[in-house]
Chain A
Amino acid sequence: MTEFAIKLDDVCFSWKSGTAPVLDIPHLAVPAGERLLIQGPSGSGKTTLLSLLGGIITPQTGTVDVLGTTLTQLNAAQRDSFRADHIGVVFQMFNLVPYLSLADNVTLPCQFSAVRRATALANAADLTAAATHLLSQLELDICELAGRPITELSVGQQQRVAAARALIGAPPLIIADEPTSALDADARQLFLELLFREVEGAGATLIFVSHDLDLRSCFDRTLPLADINRAT
């Protein structure tokens, strides 16, 4: 495996060409297996940074290296399948596709990635079993919840379903974008504990962005975005 899960060099990104860059990062390296908290106020470019890591956008200059693959050298389709295969994402809220069942939401990445499907199936009879197992690890009982539409789950439950979706098929990189900001203190604590346990179990790297300074104690390292980003 590679030494670094993520390596950014001389990355400069602006949403519209000609405007001031949102991100200007001379260097960022994240060792594989690290739990990193990127901290910064709203609008400081945290989400944009995650989109760069996910290969959804590409910087105007510089290189983005994720898990040993240089994303900036791939075309859009290659980046899409790279993301499908290697990255799990949890958003702040509204993480779930409303018309899919609980299990379908969790197994969604396996529909787009043969790699993650194969990994998920390596330890389970079928995808639903894999989803059920992951959900139970995250203390959600699929039998109890399956009858209801997923939109009726509590926010805390929805976030854990989203975590299960990010974790299925054991992608080596998990990206979380303020996943706890909509949760109360108890739910936040539970969510973080469960997420860390699963990430650790899978040996994945976790990039977690938040404005919340209270979370620092839970992470290996905390990085204020302002420290690495030269753009204001």
Chain B
Amino acid sequence: MAILSLAFKSLLNRRVTVGLTIFAIGVSVMLVLGVERLRHDAKTSFTNTISGTDLIIGARSGSIQLLLYSVFRIGNATNNISWRSYQDIASRKEVAWTIPMSLGDSHRGYRVLGTTADYFKHYRYGDGNPLAFAEGKPFIDMFSAVLGSDVAHALGYKQGDPIVVAHGLGAEGFSKHDDKPFAVSGILEKTGTPVDRTVHISLAGIEAIHIDWKSGARVPGMGIDADAVRQMKLQPKSITAFLVGLKSRLATFRLQRAINDYRREPLLAALPGVALQELWDLMGTAEIALSAISLFVVAAGLLGMMTMLLSGLNERRREISILRTVGARPGHIFSLLVLEAGLITAAGALLGLTMLYLGLLAAQPLVVAEYGLTLSLGLPSARDLSILSLIASAGVISGTIPAARAYRQSLSDGMVARL
């Protein structure tokens, strides 16, 4: 107990160097835990994004790209697929349901997805959860919009509010479909998936806003107003991708092969689970590199502490010999140094944990908005705790080196340190 209080007071006496060392360790701990959390959350977020879907079908490219634009709403499709091919595949006997998706427009930075009411019926995420409405209901007419919970929350929309869809994916100020505003018909419950950040409108709505457009620009003099469009029977010529649910999972591979060999146009059918895994593996190297770097940063932090303790020993010879004189054993001197290392590491770990949570709190809105990743703010996981205890033991172990030196020094110096 006496030694612990000595260690504490001695550290307090050197608060500037000790503070900096604690800060260095804190930063490294924050980094390690942050990387760990990011990895975990990214994986959870990934695997939770889509479930219950047997195949994702889009224009031929790579399955990862298909997954990215259709499910994660990141990036763009290289090509669309024709409505005829969609109809053809959707009508096959082994298909239970399909969700067509048409992407390409946006609303104030959020992606607009053209789909059908089947989306709200069949889309599943996480552990097979269906989409639920916080308020309102699915599309009531051509110009209805259903908002993901983040969109509604961030932009403050309520049921009935008007929404203007912008052409393309640019943030603001580009050409807008402001002649045909939509009205919010419903707002979805939070899902923690990209659905939260999506504005859903009907496929017919997508067609309607583009009816007087050609090649990405309004055709001059060809204004067809919303009411006129409402009377038209609109059918899309193409969509971006569609999700397929099968009656029996056994048919998955057969259908996948059939679609990949589809004659009329080059299509790609991807298994969501496999594509998710591929995408995850793609990031595996970066993940390992990040973990390795953060571990090296921890090592650097601990080395810094060791240097500080070692370089302090010389000026503490007098102090150590005073302690010896009043009855401290060499073992006491050893444990004094080890305790100092332990206290520094523990303080660093606590600081790192605090900075981690503050950082998460600060970064969360940004990360969700920019990367669609929900960072969890929960208590440290068992893995976090084992990492922390590993760092703490590494700190104590690195403390034994200066401690052993102090031990030897105290033996040879005896009662009088010759300065």
**Chain A contact residues, CB within 8 Å of chain B:** 47, 50-51, 54, 56-57, 76-77, 80-81, 83-85, 89, 91, 94-100, 104, 108-109, 111-113, 165, 177
Partner of A95, one of B9, B12, B322: B322
Provide the bound-state CA to CA distance between A80 and B2, in Å.
16
> Nearest-CB distance from B336 to chain A (Å)?
11
Q: Is the CB of A89 within 8 A of B329?
A: no
Q: Is the CB of A54 within 8 A of B325?
A: yes
Chain A: CB-nearest residue to B414:
A56
Question: B228 at interface (Cβ–Cβ under 8 A)?
Answer: no
Q: Is the CB of A108 within 8 A of B326?
A: yes
Which among B9, B326, B331 has the greatest number of chain A C-beta atoms within 10 A?
B326
Provide the bound-state CA to CA distance between A104 and B325, in Å.
15
Q: Is the CB of A54 within 8 A of B415?
A: yes
Q: Is the CB of A51 within 8 A of B414?
A: yes
Beyond A50-B415, A80-B328, 20 extra complex contacts between A and B, CB < 8 Å: A47-B415, A50-B416, A54-B415, A56-B324, A76-B329, A77-B329, A77-B331, A80-B327, A81-B327, A83-B325, A83-B327, A84-B326, A94-B318, A96-B322, A97-B319, A99-B10, A99-B12, A104-B9, A108-B322, A108-B323
Residues from chain A with a CB closer than 8 A to the CB of B325 are 54, 56, 83, 89, 91
Residues from chain A with a CB closer than 8 A to the CB of B331 are 77
Residues from chain A with a CB closer than 8 A to the CB of B318 are 94
Q: Is the CB of B416 within 8 A of A47?
A: yes
> Nearest-CB distance from A215 to chain B (Å)?
20
Q: How large is the interface on B (under 10, 10 to 19, 20 to 34, 35 or more residues)?
A: 20 to 34
Question: B60 at interface (Cβ–Cβ under 8 A)?
Answer: no
> Nearest-CB distance from B344 to chain A (Å)?
15
Residues from chain A with a CB closer than 8 A to the CB of B414 are 51, 56-57
From known contacts A99-B9, A99-B10, A99-B13, infer whether A109 and B326 are also in contact, taking CB-CB under 8 Å: yes
Provide the bound-state CA to CA distance between A94 and B331, in Å.
23
Question: B330 at interface (Cβ–Cβ under 8 A)?
Answer: yes
Chain B: CB-nearest residue to A54:
B415
Provide the bound-state CA to CA distance between A108 and B415, in Å.
16
Provide the bound-state CA to CA distance between A82 and B10, in Å.
26
A-B contact pairs, 14 of them (CB 8 A): A47-B415, A50-B415, A56-B415, A57-B414, A76-B329, A76-B330, A77-B329, A96-B322, A97-B319, A97-B322, A99-B9, A100-B9, A104-B9, A113-B327
Chain B: CB-nearest residue to A116:
B327
Provide the bound-state CA to CA distance between A91 and B332, in Å.
21
> Nearest-CB distance from B12 to chain A (Å)?
7
